[in-house]
C-alpha cells in the first residue's frame, strides 16, 4: 500500500492550520511547526469575505466563526479634544451586513486549531533552520528538534516568512513598502466603547481605539508614516520605543494615555505596512501560501480571505494531481493569480485611506462626513469594488 505524502507546514496562525485541515482530509500526513511556544494570543480584527466564506462553509465552521463576529457598528472620527467630527457605518467600510464577517484573529486561530489538533502533528517552539532538497524529498534541520525528511514543505509563516527566506532569498526583493508602520495592542476598555471604533488623525499619523471581545477589552492602534526603520523583530521594547518616539509630541485626544498603555501591553503587534509580490510561489518541493506569498497589507482586510482561499486551492490542486507537486503548484498559481492581484489592489486603496497627508485632506474628509448622501455614494462604490475582488475566483469542488 502506498504511503501517504508527508507535508511539513511552517506557521500555525491562519493559513497553516487551514491548509493542514484540507491536506489531512485528502489523505496527506501533515506536520505543522511553529516558532511560538503555543498559539499566538491577541492580534487585531480580521475580515472574511466572498469566496473565503464558502471555504469556511465547506470546512463546517462557518456558524462557529459567525457566532464570534465583532458586530462593530461604525467608526467615529474625533478631533484633538475628542469631539466627534463624523461617523461612517461598518457597512460603509466594505463589510456587507449579514454576509461578511469580522472576527478577532485569535478567535479564528483557535477555531482552526481545534479543528486540526487531533488530526495533524503540531511542533511548538521550534523553527526550520535549513532545507536540503533531493530527488526523493526534503530534509529539514530544526533549531531544537531532530532533522526530518518530508515530501513537501509549505511556508505559511506570514510576511516575514522563514521558508521564503531560506528558499527564495531575502524578503527585501519581494516586499513593497507602503511607507507606514502599524501597532495594535490590548488594554481595558476604559472609554466603554460599545462595538465601535474611534479615530483621531493628524497629517502622517492615525491614533485609534476600538472595543474587542464583546466590549470587555479595547485595542489601541497607532499608525504612522516613516522611512524604513531598522529594528529587531523579536525585541518588543525596542519596537515600543520607536512608536513612543513617533507619537510623544502628539498630545491630542487619548494619545498620551495610549502611549502609557503601550508600555505595559503584553498583547502587542508591530509591523511595517507592506505587500509581498513574487514572480512565483513555488520552487521544487517548496511552496508558499497566504501572506508569505502574497500579503495584501495588514490594513487591507483581505489577507485572511486570501489565506483561507489559498489553502483550499493549494490542497485541492495537490489532491487533484495525486500529489504531483510540480503540476499542482503551477495550477495553484494559475487559479489564484488574478484573485490575488485584484485583492492586492484593494490593499493599496485601503492602506492609503488610513493616513491623511495634510490638514486640508482631514478637513475635507470631515466636511464630507457631514453630507451622508455624498459619502454613501462613495462608500457604495468602495463596497462594490471590495465585494467584486473578494469573489474574483470560482472555487472548484475538489
Q: 10 Å Cβ neighbour count for 232?
A: 9
Residue 19 lies in a domain: yes
Q: How far apart are CA 26 and CA 5, in angstroms?
A: 10
Range of the domain at 30: 6-62+105-174+275-353
CATH number, domain of 139, equals 3.50.50.60
Residue 336 lies in a domain: yes
Residue 16 lies in a domain: yes
Residue 260 lies in a domain: no
Backbone phi, psi, residue 264, to 5° = -95, 0
Residue 67 lies in a domain: no
Residue 183 lies in a domain: no
Domains contained in the chain, number: 1
- What does the angle CA 14 – CA 235 – CA 231 come to, to the nearest 5 degrees? 95
Q: Which residues contact 303 (CB under 8 A, 6 or more apart)?
A: 46, 290, 291, 295, 296, 297, 347
- This prediction's pTM: 0.93
Backbone phi, psi, residue 389, to 5° = -65, -40
Residue 40 lies in a domain: yes
Q: How far apart are CA 268 and CA 263, in angstroms?
A: 10
pLDDT at 1: 47
Q: How far apart are CA 175 and CA 52, in angstroms?
A: 25
Q: How far apart are CA 61 and CA 18, in angstroms?
A: 11
> What's the average pLDDT block by block, 10 residues per block, for the chain (398 residues)?
88 98 98 95 88 97 95 90 84 58 94 98 98 93 96 97 98 94 94 94 95 88 94 95 96 96 92 96 98 91 95 98 95 98 86 79 81 71 86 95
The most distant pair of C-alpha atoms in the chain lies apart, rounded to whole Å, by 72
Residue 164 lies in a domain: yes
Q: What is the DSSP string of 186-218?
A: EEE-TT---SEEEEEEETTEEEEEEEETTTTEE
pLDDT at 63: 96
Amino acid at each position: 500500500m502506498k504511503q501517504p505524502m508527508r507535508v511539513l507546514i511552517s506557521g500555525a496562525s491562519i493559513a497553516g492550520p487551514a491548509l493542514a485541515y484540507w491536506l489531512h482530509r485528502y489523505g496527506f500526513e501533515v506536520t505543522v511547526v511553529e516558532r511560538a511556544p503555543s498559539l499566538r494570543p491577541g492580534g487585531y480584527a480580521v475580515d472574511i469575505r466572498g469566496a473565503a466564506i464558502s471555504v469556511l462553509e465547506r470546512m463546517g465552521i462557518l456558524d462557529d466563526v459567525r457566532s464570534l463576529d465583532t458586530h462593530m457598528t461604525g467608526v467615529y472620527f474625533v478631533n484633538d479634544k475628542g469631539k466627534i467630527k463624523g461617523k461612517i457605518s461598518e457597512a460603509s467600510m466594505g463589510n456587507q451586513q449579514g454576509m461578511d464577517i469580522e472576527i478577532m484573529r485569535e478567535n479564528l486561530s483557535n477555531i482552526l486549531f481545534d479543528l486540526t489538533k487531533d488530526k495533524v502533528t503540531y511542533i511548538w517552539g521550534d523553527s526550520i533552520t535549513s532545507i536540503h532538497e533531493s530527488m526523493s524529498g526534503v530534509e529539514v534541520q530544526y533549531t531544537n528538534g531532530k532533522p526530518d525528511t518530508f515530501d513537501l514543505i509549505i511556508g505559511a509563516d506570514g510576511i516575514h516568512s522563514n521558508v521564503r527566506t531560506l528558499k527564495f532569498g531575502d524578503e527585501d526583493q519581494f516586499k513593497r513598502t507602503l511607507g507606514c508602520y502599524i501597532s495594535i495592542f490590548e488594554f481595558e476598555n476604559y472609554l466603554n466603547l460599545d462595538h465601535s471604533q474611534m479615530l483621531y488623525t493628524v497629517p502622517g499619523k492615525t491614533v485609534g481605539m476600538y472595543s474587542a471581545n464583546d466590549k470587555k477589552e479595547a485595542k489601541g492602534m497607532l499608525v504612522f508614516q516613516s522611512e524604513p526603520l531598522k529594528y529587531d523583530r523579536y525585541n518588543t521594547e525596542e519596537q515600543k520605543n520607536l512608536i513612543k518616539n513617533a507619537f510623544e509630541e502628539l498630545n491630542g485626544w487619548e494619545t498620551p494615555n495610549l502611549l502609557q498603555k503601550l508600555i505595559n501591553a503584553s498583547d502587542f503587534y508591530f509591523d511595517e505596512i507592506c505587500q509581498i509580490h513574487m514572480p512565483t510561489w513555488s520552487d521544487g518541493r517548496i511552496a508558499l501560501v497566504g501572506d508569505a506569498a502574497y500579503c495584501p497589507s495588514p490594513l487591507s482586510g483581505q489577507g485572511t480571505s486570501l489565506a483561507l482561499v489559498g489553502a483550499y486551492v493549494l490542497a485541492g490542486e495537490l489532491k487533484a494531481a495525486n500529489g504531483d507537486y510540480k503540476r499542482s503548484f503551477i495550477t495553484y498559481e494559475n487559479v489564484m493569480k488574478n484573485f490575488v492581484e485584484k485583492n492586492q489592489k484593494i490593499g493599496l486603496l485601503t492602506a492609503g485611506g488610513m493616513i491623511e497627508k495634510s490638514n486640508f485632506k482631514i478637513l475635507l474628509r470631515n466636511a464630507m462626513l457631514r453630507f451622508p448622501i455624498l459619502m454613501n455614494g462613495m462608500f457604495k462604490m468602495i463596497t462594490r469594488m471590495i465585494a467584486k475582488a473578494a469573489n474574483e475566483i470560482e472555487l472548484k469542488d475538489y
